[in-house]
């Protein structure tokens, strides 16, 4: 549940267009469906997302998700179908996607006739053998609901768009912050457009400019320049006549597929104004491409480690950025652990190693036991070698009811490490304190993350980012680039001017 204070602050739908003198066009209550599928899939990962990796909410369960709660504030009921989300990771197994899609479509059909569909998406879904899974989902949706139904989509800032997706949607909006702190606002932007247009009989459309620029995810923060200024004024455009939303997407660089790129998208009813805006913003983004940079000093694992060991201040918080599960990394790589042991680093907290067999062995042995463990490389043995520890002491075991939720804290060779049976984020100070570990007490804290969570940022003294190898290698010039269209920075001297694209639905009016 969202806190009551947040719920109380959410407006109920009242129809903002009253101020513009619009007259409600809809007689009766529109029929709106809600559903979707979201994940962020690195094509550089050998892991596959299967059904058990998804949180699937069916029917009314959808409203148990915090991000669906704002929909309950509208005076138009949203009719639930299926919503599936999986943590960032590798591509989705084809069979899993088809199973989820069939279930969703079946539920959608039962709700017909529909006036609108609100879809909770991400934009970086990759399915085995399919380049544009979101486009496929939208086309399947459109085939069920027909040409007159409005479809509005919710996107992450790190989503990729295709002409197929744009041609099928009527409205879309994306986060305006990274780290993403405007999730609730994003829900309401997407839902507002839908309810507003239905109430006043408006048929919105999308104008899109695709920008051939891709950035390492950790450079795309809106907390520092140029991200801060590039996203700061987007909401100002909503004041212009006929403009409902202007969104700007960084894209998802770890998808080696033709659609991967940055985008500017304007939703509205004023094609000329939307075209002018996306042209202006796409040029602005393109011209700022050289300014993007990491938010903390970077280096190789060894460089960061030697700097940390020599640091007079602590804790030195180092991001093992290539293995960050928050962006699609495996979280089972051992490159950093190997370097720690080789350098004989002491007083170290190593957070977030996923290893189900080792976690299970810790539960079997119990708190206080000493046991030999093989650590890491269980999800992708081809990426790196496991590390064999002779004497690991089990310090803490989280009380859980399902083995797959297990979390253990172990100590060996001057290192305290958290182990997890499944891929999960250990980015915040709370995620460690919940396990009885205080990150502030260590000289070095190694996290499988990118830019730091605010609670870690407050502790870090200093913060460093290791450009480590992995499924989301931040050193993007050296990742495989086989299927993308010509894109900066791989094509350093690329010349480009925006070519705004008016969606097929908008062109037809």
| Smallest separation (angstroms) from Zn ion to the CB of 102 | 28
| Smallest separation (angstroms) from Zn ion to the CB of 158 | 4
Nearer to Zn ion, 158 or 423 (CB): 158
Which DSSP state fits 366?
-
Nearer to Zn ion, 326 or 469 (CB): 326
Buried b (16+ CB within 10 A) or exposed e, 188-207: bbbbbbbbbbbbbebebbbb
| Smallest separation (angstroms) from Zn ion to the CB of 44 | 17
Nearer to Zn ion, 134 or 156 (CB): 156
Nearer to Zn ion, 136 or 156 (CB): 156
H-helix or E-strand containing 5?
Answer: helix 4-9
Contact present, 308 and 236 (Cβ < 8 Å)? no
Nearer to Zn ion, 68 or 88 (CB): 88
Strand order in the sheet with 78-85: 55-58, 78-85, 32-38, 116-120, 150-155, 171-174
- Helix, strand, or coil here: 493? coil
Strand order in the sheet with 387-397: 298-299, 463-466, 316-320, 444-447, 348-354, 415-420, 407-412, 387-397, 370-375
- Helix, strand, or coil here: 37? strand
Distance CA 436, CA 485 (A): 48
Distances in Å between the alpha carbon of 16 and those of 22, 170, 195, 240, 456? 9, 19, 10, 14, 40
| Smallest separation (angstroms) from Zn ion to the CB of 38 | 11
Nearer to Zn ion, 177 or 378 (CB): 177
| Smallest separation (angstroms) from Zn ion to the CB of 382 | 27
| Smallest separation (angstroms) from Zn ion to the CB of 180 | 6
DSSP character string of 95-109: HHHHHHHHHHHHHHH
Distance CA 124, CA 159 (A): 5
- Residue whose C-beta lies closest to Zn ion: 158
Nearer to Zn ion, 202 or 214 (CB): 214
| Smallest separation (angstroms) from Zn ion to the CB of 55 | 17
**Positions in the binding site for Zn ion (CB under 5 A):** 156, 158
């Amino acid at each position: 549940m969202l806190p009551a204070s947040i719920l109380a602050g959410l407006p109920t739908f009242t129809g903002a267009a009253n101020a513009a003198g619009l007259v409600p066009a809809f007689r009766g209550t529109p029929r709106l469906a809600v559903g979707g599928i979201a994940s962020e899939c690195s094509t550089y990962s050998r892991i596959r997302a299967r059904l058990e990796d998804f949180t699937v909410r069916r029917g009314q369960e959808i409203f148990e998700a915090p991000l669906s709660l704002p929909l309950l504030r509208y005076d138009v009921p949203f009719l639930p179908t299926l919503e599936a989300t999986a943590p960032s990771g590798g591509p989705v197994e084809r069979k899993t996607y088809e199973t989820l899609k069939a279930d969703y479509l079946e539920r959608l059909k039962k709700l017909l006739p529909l006036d609108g569909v609100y879809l909770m998406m991400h934009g970086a879904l990759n399915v085995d053998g399919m380049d544009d899974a979101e486009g496929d989902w939208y086309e399947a949706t459109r085939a069920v609901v027909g040409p007159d139904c409005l479809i509005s989509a919710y996107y992450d800032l790190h989503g990729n768009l295709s002409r197929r997706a744009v041609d099928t949607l009527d409205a879309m909006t994306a986060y305006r912050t990274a780290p993403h702190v405007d999730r609730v606002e994003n829900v309401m932007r997407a839902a507002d457009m839908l309810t507003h247009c239905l109430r006043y009989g408006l048929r919105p459309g999308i104008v899109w400019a695709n920008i051939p620029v891709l950035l390492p995810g950790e450079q795309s923060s809106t907390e520092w320049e140029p991200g801060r200024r590039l996203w700061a004024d987007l909401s100002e455009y909503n004041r212009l006549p006929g403009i409902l939303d202007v969104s700007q997407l960084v894209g998802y660089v770890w998808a080696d597929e033709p659609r991967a790129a940055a985008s500017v998208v304007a939703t509205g009813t004023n094609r000329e104004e939307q075209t002018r805006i996306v042209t202006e913003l796409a040029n602005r983004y393109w011209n700022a491409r050289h300014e993007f940079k990491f938010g903390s000093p970077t280096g190789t694992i060894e460089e960061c480690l030697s700097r940390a060991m020599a640091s007079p201040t602590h804790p030195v918080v180092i991001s093992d950025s290539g293995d960050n599960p928050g962006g699609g990394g495996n979280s089972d790589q051992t490159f950093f652990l190997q370097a720690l042991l080789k350098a004989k680093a002491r007083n170290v907290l190593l957070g977030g190693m996923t290893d189900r067999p080792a976690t299970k062995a810790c539960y079997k042995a119990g708190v206080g036991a000493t046991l030999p463990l093989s650590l890491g490389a269980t999800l992708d043995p081809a990426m790196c070698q496991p590390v064999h520890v002779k004497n690991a002491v089990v310090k803490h075991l989280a009380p859980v009811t399902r083995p797959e939720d297990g979390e253990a804290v172990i100590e060996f060779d001057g290192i305290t490490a958290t182990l997890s049976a499944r891929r999960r984020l250990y980015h915040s100070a709370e995620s460690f304190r919940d396990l009885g570990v205080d990150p502030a007490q260590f000289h070095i804290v190694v996290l499988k993350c990118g830019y730091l969570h605010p609670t870690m940022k407050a502790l870090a003294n200093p913060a460093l980012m290791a450009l480590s190898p992995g499924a989301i290698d931040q050193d993007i010039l050296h990742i495989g680039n086989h299927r993308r269209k010509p894109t900066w920075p791989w094509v350093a001297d690329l010349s480009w001017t925006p070519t705004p694209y008016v969606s097929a639905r908008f062109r037809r009016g």
